[in-house]
Structure 1
Amino acid sequence: MASSVERRVTSLQYALDLFVENAPVKTPIDAVASGKDIGYQKNSVFARIIGLGLSARRFVDAAYFIVAQEPEISDTYEVSLNFFKWLMRYESHNKKHFSSVVRSVKSAMLEVTSGPVVSVDAKGRLLEDRADPSEADEDADDLDAQAGFVSVTDDEGDWLELIGRVSVRNGRIRFRVPLELQRLIKDPENSYWTSLLVTSKFKLIYARAIYDHVLPEVPHERTEWISLDLIRSLPGKSWANFAEFKYFKRDYLEPAIKHINELSDIEIAYETRAGTPGSRKKDQIRFKLRRKEEASAADADMLSSASLYLTLYKEFGLSDKQFVQIRENRGTWTDARIEQAIDYVRWRIAKGDDIRRASSYLMKALAENYRVAEADKQISLLQTKRVEKEAAKDVEQGARKGAVAASVAAAEAAADQRRQDEVRAAREYFASAEKKAQEDLVRRFVASSTIGQRTIERQGLKALEINENNILTWPSIAGIFASFVAAELRKAARKSA
């Protein structure tokens, strides 16, 4: 069976194949029609990234997708620049703008922490401690500062740049990613699926920023209450940070929600509230989330093969929530473990064990790491062979009995047919015989106490009342008489022989 490493390599090769196929006709990645997804398991810690522009987010997606395909840590990663730009849906030929995108990404940082997150800007100021809007406007032209948000909890922390050194030479791009981030990228634990076919479609930075922020919570179908100021600042500094809520809602939030619902694999709604006691100002927001039906392509691509997905979907009938549970546990629930659980459940079903729902029992087998021991397989195999041997023996015996019964039935049918033919021939002979022969046959039949007389008496008649003209009038007498005539004819035939 293919390993998760093989799956990743195949995913990268698939992306390359799509690029080679679509590059000549200049079809961008967001317009590609594909039955298979292009993406990777993104660690939930990357949902904390704020302050990146739209192109910068796409740059990070493309870079991390490439990093995620390699099983081992690497010092540098290198691919075709055209392929890299295709992955990030970058269609501009403006070198200065691409350089500004790279600088934007390199100036952004991420703090790896398990504590609560508070946002600060590039100058180290807490968002809630900003002096005033006019002070922020003084930095509005600083592109690097716009992308410089990090997350901090206290005076201590680990701030990591999202991308290390980036070099473009001879049509190829080489880049480095910090070791600590590579481990997070390659480790699918505590992760969620990110599809480049989806993220490349976004054209509004607020839509993309909100999408990235809420995507890890899709399995839970809603987020916790979030500070509205944090949502305002997701793409970085702009007028949206300080606009009245009604204008922020009209110009940024509502268009972003509509954009997400139209273009992405999820549907999103929101509600707001005044979270500060004694205040009527709405300062908190919560998003309600639902994955669209067509998003099941990510579930299929999460696994090593289409056949494994179809086995889970059709044979075991896994629900969307169960697929999400598998996705959330991909760090330990590898393809091999899934196959192991499938093998175990099939074995239990073949044994005739009482399993009410195959899907639920499969999930339990996955969680508990159930497996079939080789010894148990041998026992089941021997039992199956024994049952099959006994069944074959019963079939053979049944076939022999059936053959005998069929032979007897055929013989009986043939004998019965012969008797019927003889009786018919006897009646025809009697009807065409001369009167003297008829009288002689009737006389001998009536004189036979065993056959003739008893047959006549059962009809309430006397022997004197029976003659050659009326003996065939009574059906019961006629039948016995015909058999008698047949017997007489056989005797005559034997004598003449």
Structure 2
Amino acid sequence: MSSSVDRRVTPLQFALDLFVEMAPAQRSIDEAAPDKDIGYQKNRVFARIVGLGLSARRFVDAAYFIVAQDPEIQDHYDVTLSFFKWLMRYDSRNKKHFSSVIRSVKSSMLEVMSAPVVAVDSAGRMLAEPSEPGEEKLSAARDDLNVTVVDEEGDWLELIGRVSVRNGRIRFRVPVELQRLIKDPENSYWTSLLVTSRFTLIYARGIYDHVLPSVPNGVTDWLSLDLVRNLPGKSWANNAEFKYFKRDYLEPAVSQINELSDIELSYETRAGTPGSRKKDQIRFRLKRKEAAVATKADMLNSVALFMTLQKEFALSDSQFERIAQNRAVWTDERIQQAIEYTRWKIRQGEKIKTAAGYMMKALSDNYRVSEADKQIELIQAQLVGAATIQQEAKSERQKAVEASVAAATAAHEHRRQEELRLARKSFDEADMNRREELVRKFVASSTMGIRAIERQNLKPAQVTEANILSFPDVANTFIPFVAGELRKAIRRR
């Protein structure tokens, strides 16, 4: 196994390999095994996206996953359409519907702002959380007076740029500003495409996207119910009475999140407006499910690195937790360094009780393979390679000799069988006198023939030209005798 960092499987290549493996059986991305997770570090700003349908959200996921794999800003991104649709779990062949999904994404905008979003106004624009305690009261008082305060300043970015679908490929652009956010692993959280592709309820997907950044805290801030109502955009649910919204949308969404995702979710509501009993705020409590793959993967910036730790080294949950606690010092580079050192020790024949334990020791003590040790290993490998080539050449020569002997033996056996066939044919076609002559000669002059006759519990007088071939042991000796007589006759000519 190579220890080169350059040879590690990238998340995009890993996804492509999984697609190639699953596509022939028409298995969608959500059917992949949990240990074959596909995802990326999503910037927290994208939790503010509202107004997208289920397919449109999946389109954005697939596009941003592809963008996230390239550390450099690109003018455009280009992949096969079948792979792109597989990433977004889109199995429809309806071209008009796919076009409508693209239009939906292109018509959506993301407002870039520094404050966390807790509500949207009547136009669907996101509003920032008040920073001072008194500011919330002032806002409430203004609402009582039916005074609308609107800040017209802000930055809005389209979620996707130009999209072209031609010749079985999809080519798309993403605004440079968003590319920087997508490629920013610091202010981010792990998003699993295996999880997000499972949702069939738009509210489940919208709520999941919105609360996921709060997993480390275990609870969200108090959010406006209007924000939750508007996550999928305009619908009857925006204005439904809370008891119907809760019954028809909120409860089914929470149930699906708990059933299909990697988190467990609950919520509570309250009347946030002073003097009002109307429940207009909601807070979600959430935690990662035990042994959820994303719990371990969200601390790493490389899916390939996570897969190496999980599959090759079989790290336990406690070992992953230890890495998470030390991420400030144990960077991806240092983890890869410890992996390389452990692999090197294994190649050197070091007595290692468990690879996981040894790797964690190497990580903790910052062990590394020196350049001199790498050079020694390279030279030794070259020497072993040269010796192997010589041995293989010798082995090939021996095989050639053996093959030649085997071929000669096979040819000889073929000639012998053909000679016996012709001898029998000659005996069968000979006249009575010739057959009797051959039998008499066989009995009189062939010691092996006499022994064969005796093994059949016969006497020579009992063997005639009419029955000699009916006795197997006698016939097996007689036919070669006839062949010998034919050869003598040919030589006499």
Task: Report the CA distance between 1:303 and its aligned residue.
Answer: 5.9
**Residue 42 to residue 175, structure 1, CA distance change in 2 (3 Å):** same
> One-letter code of the match for 2:221?
E
Partner of 1:106: 106
Partner of 1:176: 173
Within 5 Å, give how 1:443-458 maps onto structure 2.
none
Secondary structure of 1:293's counterpart equals: coil
Partner of 1:254: 251
Contact preservation (8 Å) 1:265, 1:294: no
Matches of 2:59 and 2:269, distance apart in 1: 32
Secondary structure of 1:75's counterpart equals: coil
Aligned residues: 333
> One-letter code of the match for 2:188?
S
> One-letter code of the match for 2:224?
S
Matches of 1:221 and 1:44, distance apart in 2: 16
1:202-246 Cα shifts (integer Å, max 9, x gaps): 000000000000011111111111111111111111111111111
> One-letter code of the match for 1:46?
F
Task: Report the CA distance between 1:80 and its aligned residue.
Answer: 0.5
Contact preservation (8 Å) 1:219, 1:321: no
Contact preservation (8 Å) 2:291, 2:317: no
**Residue 114 to residue 126, structure 1, CA distance change in 2 (3 Å):** closer
Secondary structure of 1:23's counterpart equals: helix
Give me the CA root mean square deviation: 3.8
Q: TM-score, normalised by structure 2?
A: 0.59
Contact preservation (8 Å) 2:5, 2:336: no
1:440-493 Cα shifts (integer Å, max 9, x gaps): xxxxxxxxxxxxxxxxxxxxxxxxxxxxxxxxxxxxxxxxxxxxxxxxxxxxxx
Task: Report the CA distance between 1:156 and its aligned residue.
Answer: 2.3
Matches of 2:242 and 2:191, distance apart in 1: 30
**Residue 272 to residue 186, structure 1, CA distance change in 2 (3 Å):** same
**Residue 361 to residue 304, structure 1, CA distance change in 2 (3 Å):** closer
Secondary structure of 1:56's counterpart equals: helix
Task: Report the CA distance between 1:187 and its aligned residue.
Answer: 1.4
Partner of 2:43: 43
**Residue 14 to residue 202, structure 1, CA distance change in 2 (3 Å):** same
Task: Report the CA distance between 1:39 and its aligned residue.
Answer: 0.5
The one of 197, 211, 217 equivalent to 1:214 is 211
Tell whether 2:266 aligns with 1:266: no
Secondary structure of 1:270's counterpart equals: strand
1:173-211 Cα shifts (integer Å, max 9, x gaps): 000001011111111111111111111000000000000
Partner of 1:62: 62
Partner of 1:95: 95
Task: Report the CA distance between 1:14 and its aligned residue.
Answer: 1.5
Matches of 2:243 and 2:6, distance apart in 1: 49
Task: Report the CA distance between 1:30 and its aligned residue.
Answer: 1.1
Within 5 Å, give how 1:236-251 maps onto structure 2.
236-251=233-248
**Identity among equivalent pairs (%):** 68
Contact preservation (8 Å) 1:38, 1:196: yes
Task: Report the CA distance between 1:313 and its aligned residue.
Answer: 7.8
Tell whether 2:158 aligns with 1:161: yes
Secondary structure of 1:24's counterpart equals: helix
**Residue 88 to residue 3, structure 1, CA distance change in 2 (3 Å):** farther
Partner of 1:469: none
Task: Report the CA distance between 1:164 and its aligned residue.
Answer: 0.2
Tell whether 2:117 aligns with 1:117: yes
Contact preservation (8 Å) 1:166, 1:176: yes
Matches of 2:217 and 2:323, distance apart in 1: 13
**Residue 6 to residue 299, structure 1, CA distance change in 2 (3 Å):** farther
Matches of 2:313 and 2:276, distance apart in 1: 51
**Residue 306 to residue 95, structure 1, CA distance change in 2 (3 Å):** closer
> One-letter code of the match for 1:170?
N
**Residue 247 to residue 40, structure 1, CA distance change in 2 (3 Å):** same
Secondary structure of 1:71's counterpart equals: coil
Task: Report the CA distance between 1:286 and its aligned residue.
Answer: 0.9
Secondary structure of 1:70's counterpart equals: coil
Task: Report the CA distance between 1:325 and its aligned residue.
Answer: 5.8
Contact preservation (8 Å) 1:39, 1:65: yes
Partner of 1:483: none
1:324-370 Cα shifts (integer Å, max 9, x gaps): 667x87xx9631144579999xxxxxxxxxxxxx99999999xxxx9
Tell whether 2:228 aligns with 1:227: no
Larger C-alpha radius of gyration, 1 or 2? 1
Tell whether 2:301 aligns with 1:304: no
Unpaired stretches in structure 2, ≥5 consecutive residues: 129-138, 141-148, 342-357, 371-493
Tell whether 2:199 aligns with 1:190: no
Secondary structure of 2:24's counterpart equals: coil
**Residue 23 to residue 343, structure 1, CA distance change in 2 (3 Å):** closer
**Residue 362 to residue 162, structure 1, CA distance change in 2 (3 Å):** farther
Unpaired stretches in structure 1, ≥5 consecutive residues: 130-151, 345-357, 375-497
